[in-house]
Structure 1
Amino acid sequence: MRALRRVVVTGLGAVSPFGRGVPTLMAALYAGQSAVRQVPELERIGGLRTRVAALVQGIDPREIPRKDRRSMSAMSVYATLASHEALAQAGIGTPELEGGRLGVAIGSTVGSTQTTEDFFRDFFTDHSLERMKSTLFFQIMNHSCAANVVQALGITGRLLAPSAACSTGCQAVGYGYEQVALGRQDFMLCGGADEFHPLTAATFDVMTAASIGFNDEPELTPRPFDRRRDGMVCSEGGGIVLLEALDSALARGATILGEVTGFATVSDPSSIANPNAAAMERCMRETLEDAELAPEEVDYINAHATATTQGDIAEAEAIRAIFAARVPVSSLKGHMGHTMAASGALELLASIEMLRQGRLVPTLNLNEVDPACAGILHVRGMESRPVRAFIKNNFALGGVNSSLVVRRYPHD
């Protein structure tokens, strides 16, 4: 049996509600900023109660040549710009992109809802296809982000496009990790992207899972693990992590940002909608087992924690069962809302930066811990401490649970 290869991170790329680039994201997180704002557009939706979101600002899609941009909606633009940043940091050029040994695993929750709406608004005026553009399908197909990144960058390796709601980005990195570990690819561009649409917020509002109590004070929501939390805030963005075989990175003299050592994703058939602490616990335990890591060796947990009532309680219970109150825990959704398919990768790359800098970002808006979320070590203020290994959690509707372990390199 072929020995598994070690897999490291050599590039990071981000388009977040704070703007373009990983440095911009980290500066905002360390400054304790909130990207959540009132969105007047939401007022026109009948029955929609939430009025807040965190939207991407300050990017120019025209950086992408028109021939490539024509088939992109906003989410593919985010994924492409983030991919450029990750590749530039890693020092990857045309030979690697076109060599067949670099693949992509990039997903989104769905195709572009805005493009779909625009088409049907026009179609239902006279039920005519005469005005339909030939590039429309490429914006609404489920693998739009992955396909557009491949086309824009000239990538000839494998293409994966996982779609698992909030677990998408985490799964994409996990599946990319497995591709490299198994020797199928030497590099994998991994992550997720999503674009905001009012119907995204409406979906969670209908399920009474969206924040509605802070419409006039948007910077005070969401509130992960807090007693006053009242639901999630939808946002958008794109996060990309470049994974590479360790032997390749060493041969190139690349800067190694961390090592992915464990991944697990498990299904929970008990409910398609409700979170399950036992399934979350099983997912984290399987991830630790894959990483050959004891709970005592974990120094930080980046929680999924979206600020829903049930989800935060279930995750806190799962963490408490494994780690008690020993390991620092925080969620980044208080800063930038829930970036959906991008959340796994954006929060992962932020956690990698925390590992490198030895500074933990606290959970924004966590003023009073809900007693049901107590018994774990919440990060309440900026902390400087060494981080040798961390767990990143993402738990999604549909009973999809995913976790990753990243360790400092070198660690042996």
Structure 2
Amino acid sequence: MRLRRVVITGQGAISPFGCGVEPLMEGLLAGRSAVRVLPELEGVGGLRTRVGARAAGVDPRRIERRFRRSMSPMSVFATLASEEALAQAGLGAEERGDGRTGVAIGATVGSTVTNEAFFADYFRDRSLERMKSTIFFQIMNHSCAANVAQALGITGRLLAPSAACSTGCQAVGYGYEMIAFGRQERMLCGGADEFHPLTAATFDVFNAGTTGYNDRPEGTPRPFDRDRDGVVCAEGGGVLLLEELETARRRGAPILAEVVGFATVADPESIANPNRQAMERCMSLALEDAGLEPAEVDYLNAHATATVQGDVAESEAIAALFGERVPVSSLKGHMGHTMAASGALELTATVEMLRRGVLVPTRNLERIDPACAVVNHLQGGPVEAPLEVAVKNNFALGGVNSTIIVRRYAA
């Protein structure tokens, strides 16, 4: 069957740089760090890391109270990002509720913030008398997708992928496939996550969280750098509105880019350790899906979380397909790892780079690790370049790998 073309007509972002796509891009292009020392980490016994990146400037009161009551911070992030994407795309209430618009927005887990608050109260006297009726809707695993659909009146398909760091990328990919195969006309796609000390603790227990920069948080994370020492946990929400091309053109929607390829693969070799071969296979399948050769790619936005093993494996996988020709950078040195939101937030930034003809380099990459030096790393300041095709990687714990390919729209 002939697949339908899928384009991006709206984007929304809640990031450590603020509310909106423009604050996100301003922070990235200025080379700023959003990583800070977080006082709430100091009281956690055994936790070594003290830094993270919190979403900035978020006002939950922008959402009607009747909807806000069932939202934890991550659902607030997802809803506000969705509103921005819909506003940019000019999609009104009638189209949102016509059954042809769906949602694919995921998170890593249900709200840890809400879970902690509930159990802290429950274990005082093991009583449920103080439990609010809305608490379940904050902790269910599809909370973000369900709350977005409720608040925005969306009546089409609802999907809530949960694949840790691959969540946002998978959500966009699944939305792309639904539209390409004619199951929906439009999909709001992305991911959101909220910061909690236990998120940072997870990586600390794995010895994969940063510990050596507590006195200078702006110096971490350091993707691909010789002195990297692990992940900086962050929070936020990223949402993109994907639309069938002819539908978008008929209503005069702005077309920001075209989604042309997607792949996601499982790696059974290890539930924790990255696998170069699986990463390479994922990128290769995405290129095949897009009908592109490696030589046609102009930029690659790496997952690159600044872990010792992960950065090396990804560098080797990229080199195996692209050699040293394609410019590569990671955005996590600027704003940390926003977990389930990272795929969508970083894809949004990648789309903006394509549109603006400028590449954002990897922050804190001062001395490239020789083991990572097999690819063309972007260092220093932003670089102007003519761009047509970009690859976006996200690789997750659990052996989940995903890749999205976007292209400048050409009629």
TM-score bucket (shorter structure): over 0.9
CA-to-partner distance for each residue in 1:312-337, whole Å, 9 max, x for gaps? 00000000000010000000000000
Mapped partners of 1:385, 1:58: distance in 2? 32
- State the distance in 2 between where 1:276 and 1:127 align: 45
CA–CA separation in structure 2 for the residues paired with 1:208 and 1:319? 25
Q: Which residue in 2 is equivalent to 1:199?
A: 198
- Aligned-partner Cα distance in 1 for 2:122–2:254: 51
User: In 2, Cα distance between the equivalents of 1:253 and 1:97?
Assistant: 16
Per-residue CA distance 1:54-85 (angstroms, 9 max, x = gap): 00111110010100000000000000000000
1:252 CA displacement: 1.1
Deviation of the 1:136 alpha carbon = 0.3
State the SS of the aligned residue for 1:241: strand
Question: How many Å apart are 1:250 and its aligned residue?
Answer: 1.1
- The 5 A counterparts of 1:72-87 are 72-87=71-86
State the distance in 2 between where 1:375 and 1:310 align: 15
**Counterpart in the other structure of 1:64:** 63
List structure 1 runs of 4+ shifted beyond 3 angstroms.
none
Is 1:305 aligned to residue 309 of structure 2? no
| Deviations 1:10-50 (CA, angstroms, capped at 9, x unpaired) | 00000000110000000110000000000011000000000
Q: Given the alignment of the two structures, is residue 384 of structure 1 paired with residue 378 of structure 2, yes or no?
A: no
Name 1:407's counterpart in structure 2: 407
C-alpha separation between the residues in 2 aligned to 1:63 and 1:88? 14
In structure 2, C-alpha distance between the alignment counterparts of 1:204 and 1:375, rounded to whole Å: 27
**Partner secondary structure for residue 175 of structure 2:** helix
What are the equivalent positions in structure 2 for 1:231-250 lying under 5 Å apart?
231-250=230-249
Aligned alpha-carbon RMSD (Å):
0.6
Correspondence list, 1:161-310, <5 A: 161-310=160-309
Q: Which amino acid aligns with 2:376?
A: L
TM-score normalised by length of structure 1: 0.99
- The residue that corresponds to 2:329 in the other structure is 330
Offset from partner CA, 1:224-255 (integer Å, 9 cap, x none): 00000000100000000000000111111111
Q: Tell me how far apart the structure 1 counterparts of residues 56 and 250 of structure 2 sit (CA, whole Å).
A: 38
Q: C-alpha deviations, 1:138-192, integer Å up to 9, x for none?
A: 0000000000000000110000000000000000000000010011100000000
Q: Whole-Å Cα distance in 2 between the matches of residues 124 and 84 of structure 1?
A: 38
* d(CA) in 1 for partners of 2:374, 2:204: 29
- Shift in Å, 1:95: 1.1
Matched residue of 1:68: which SS? helix
TM-score under structure 2 length normalisation: 0.99
Q: Distance between the aligned counterparts of 1:177 and 1:352, measured in 2?
A: 15
Counterparts of 1:48 and 1:254 in 2: how far apart (Å)? 48
Structure 2: distance between partners of 1:404 and 1:58: 29
Distance 1:57 1:346 in 2: 14
| Structure 1 unaligned blocks of 5 or more | none
Q: What is the rounded CA distance, in whole Å, between the counterparts of 2:46 and 2:178 in structure 1?
A: 45
Letter in 2 for 1:249: A
Q: 1:396: which partner in 2?
A: 396
Say how many residue pairs are matched: 410
Any idea what SS the aligned residue of 1:44 has? coil
Rounded Cα–Cα distance in structure 1 between residues aligned with 2:56 and 2:246: 38
**Cα distance per residue 1:80-115 (max 9 Å; x no partner):** 000000000000001111100000000000000010
Amino acid at match of 1:272: I
Q: Quick one: distance in 2 between partners of 1:230 and 1:363? A: 15
What's 1:24 paired with? 23
- SS of the equivalent of 2:214 reads coil
- Could you list the per-position Cα deviations for residues 275-334 of structure 1 after superposition, in whole angstroms to 9, with x for gaps in the alignment? 000000000000000000000000000000000000000000000000010000000000
